[in-house]
Amino acid sequence: MSKVASLVARLEEVEDPRIAEMITYPLVEILFAVLIGVLCRMEEWDEIIYFAQENIAWLRLFYPYENGIASGKTFRLVFSRIDQKAFATVFMAWAAQWSQGGVIAIDGKTLRGTGEKEKAKSALHVLNAVAHDSGMVLGQQPVDGKSNEITAIPEFLKSLALDGAIVTIDAMGTQKDIAATIIEQKADYVLALKGNQSSLHDDVRRFFADPASMPDCLATTTTDGGHGRIEERACRVTDAIGWLCALHPQWQGLRSIAAITATRTDKKTGETSTETRFYIASLPADPQLILHATRSHWSVENRLHWVLDVIFREDRCRIRKDYAALNLALVRKIVLNLLRQDTSCALPLKRKRLKAALNPAYRASLINPS
């Protein structure tokens, strides 16, 4: 069974929240109709249902749909009641097939369309795991506000297949328990240092500021241009940190520290700005590897968050009742993975969705590639 074909089988594992004797429209048929609707650029329930009704003959290539397409009320009810944690578990079991080492970035995103000012209801916040090399989303977990990411990350990490990967998290995730969990999952970490670990941050900063430390460091430099500027990144790394481990013995797996200095020059004005960031890592002192890992982490903004908001218009979606927003967010990520795994054409994601809407054969190839 192919990776993508197995998704169809996985959908049948999602538990139906309804009373069995009262089910007219099977859950898997509702899930599949929503999946195809989102794949084909539909965003609201009415659009998804209309697309399903117009393409019911095609849908029946996969499932019977003996009773046709359910009403909007049924779609809304079902998606609001599907256990989002169980659905996410099914998704992660499918997506784990793409978790094959490399850099895995853990980062949070707010579903802005789910907030309700008039009810003083905060927007939902989710943690995402993204494999940098493939761009595949590996998991999703809701968080009770961005400030609670710290307590949610260890549980999230335990649910992912991380063996052999390099896990990157921003400074909020630089916590002893998180580092220990990553090591327990047989992975490595590169964690940013800021004020939340003030003592450790200051010790690392002072080390790299001392000219006497230079002989202990390995270094590499990269230069690239874009968006009207030239950016040079200089990475210094050392594993001569016995003194640091003695001061901070609780950091499991700590093997090296790094300083990355980014110098940005505006091509028009010639103005230059410089910023230095500090990191701890369980990796050996390899400046190229650590620089790659840190740059890969920030790509999650472009490869996931930007795509969800611009291509899938996630922040504009007002579906928010109970679990519906989280379940629909998961469907978007399933669709994103389907599009990313497709190598049959070199179209951008937006154009692939349009092609899927207009070309039934291409749509079928995404669901069940040969």
pLDDT mean over 17-27? 90
| Mean pLDDT of all residues in 143-163 | 86
Give me the mean pLDDT over the 203-209 stretch: 95
Q: Put residue 185 in one of left, alpha, beta given phi > 0 → left and psi -120 to 50 → alpha.
A: alpha
Least confident of 112-121, 164-173, 236-245, 312-321: 112-121
Write down the pTM of the prediction: 0.89
Q: Is the pLDDT of residue 1 over 50?
A: no
- Predicted confidence at residue 2, as pLDDT, reads 52
Question: Can you say how many angstroms the Cα of residue 221 is from the centroid of all Cα atoms in its chain?
Answer: 28
Residues 68-103 have pLDDT tens digits of 999 999 999 999 999 999 999 999 999 988 877 899
Overall size of the chain counted in residues = 370
Residue 146: other Cβ atoms inside 10 A: 14
Please answer whether residues 266 and 221 qualify as being in contact, where contact means their C-beta atoms are separated by less than 8 angstroms: no
| pLDDT tens column, 280-309 | 999 999 999 999 999 999 878 888 999 999
pLDDT at 320: 76
Residue range 210-269, pLDDT digits in tens: 998 888 999 999 988 776 778 899 999 999 999 999 999 999 999 999 999 999 988 788
Supply the pLDDT for residue 11.
87
pLDDT above 90 (res 64): yes
Share of the chain above pLDDT 90, in %: 66
Q: What is the mean pLDDT of the chain?
A: 90
DSSP state of 69: P
Mean pLDDT of 113-138: 81
What pLDDT is recorded for position 112?
81
Q: Give the type of residue at 340.
A: R
Beta bridge partners of 142: 126
Whether 34 has a pLDDT exceeding 50, the answer reads yes
Q: Indicate if the pLDDT at residue 8 is higher than 90.
A: no
Per-residue pLDDT reduced to its tens digit, 323-358: 899 999 999 999 999 999 999 999 999 999 999 999
| pLDDT attached to residue 367 | 87
Distance between CA atoms of 364 and 99, rounded to whole angstroms? 25
pLDDT tier at 26 (50, 70, 90 boundaries)? very high
State yes or no: pLDDT of 146 exceeds 80. no
